[in-house]
Amino acid sequence: EKWKLELKLKNTGTIGDFRGYLVFSFLNKGKSQSYQIIKPIDASIVGPIASSPKSILFGSMQPGETAQQLVSLNIDKGSNNHFEILSVDNTDPNHIQAKVLSQDLGKDVLITMNAPSEEGIFEGRIIITVQLDKLYKLYVTYLGCVVENQN
């Protein structure tokens, strides 16, 4: 069985606001089931900051603030299982690095994203192995983001 968490974003500007939505889906015996996140994500791409020039910023973060920016994924699957991080695949430079903190399902799952390059168009995926009832891999795909310097 494969659990897949997919992040789809529509970028409304190279640096600016965009909205996205999340689909939590898994394949069970050939049948795909999906859970769409109720609350869309509102975020802003404000460009690189001094403390981490490869960071992509979400939300109201200001230049000079901490490089760790958290995106809340409000997953409600009606379960008390925990997301427990086992490994993060960051061996491929084209992959976006991520860190998932242990949370209850139905609560926020916090993900830190870093771009593989300081600016430009990139696509990547986060592969996170999590412990649910059994071992699964959680795939997070980030699509179509454009980052440019503010200068």
Buried (b) or exposed (e) across 102-136, using 16+ Cβ within 10 A?
ebebeeebbbbbbbbeebeebebbbbbebebeeeb
Local confidence pLDDT in tens for the 151 residues of the chain: 333 333 333 333 334 433 333 333 333 444 444 433 333 333 333 333 223 322 233 333 333 333 233 233 333 333 333 333 333 334 433 333 333 333 333 333 333 333 333 343 333 333 333 333 443 333 333 333 333 333 3
Please report the pLDDT score of residue 37 as a whole number.
32
Contact yes or no for 5/140 (Cβ under 8 A): yes
Cβ count near 5 (within 10 Å): 24
Tell me the whole-structure pTM to 2 decimals: 0.21
Q: Quote the tokens at residue 111.
A: 């993900």
Cα separation, 7 vs 38, whole angstroms: 13
> What is the spatial distance between Cα 47 and Cα 100, in angstroms, rounded to a whole number?
23
Q: What is the pLDDT of residue 101?
A: 38
Neighbours of 92 (CB within 10 A): 11
Query: For residue 141, what pLDDT is reported?
Result: 36
What sign has the CA pseudo-torsion 84, 140, 15, 107? negative
Predicted confidence at residue 42, as pLDDT, reads 39
Dist CA 107 CA 84 (whole Å): 13
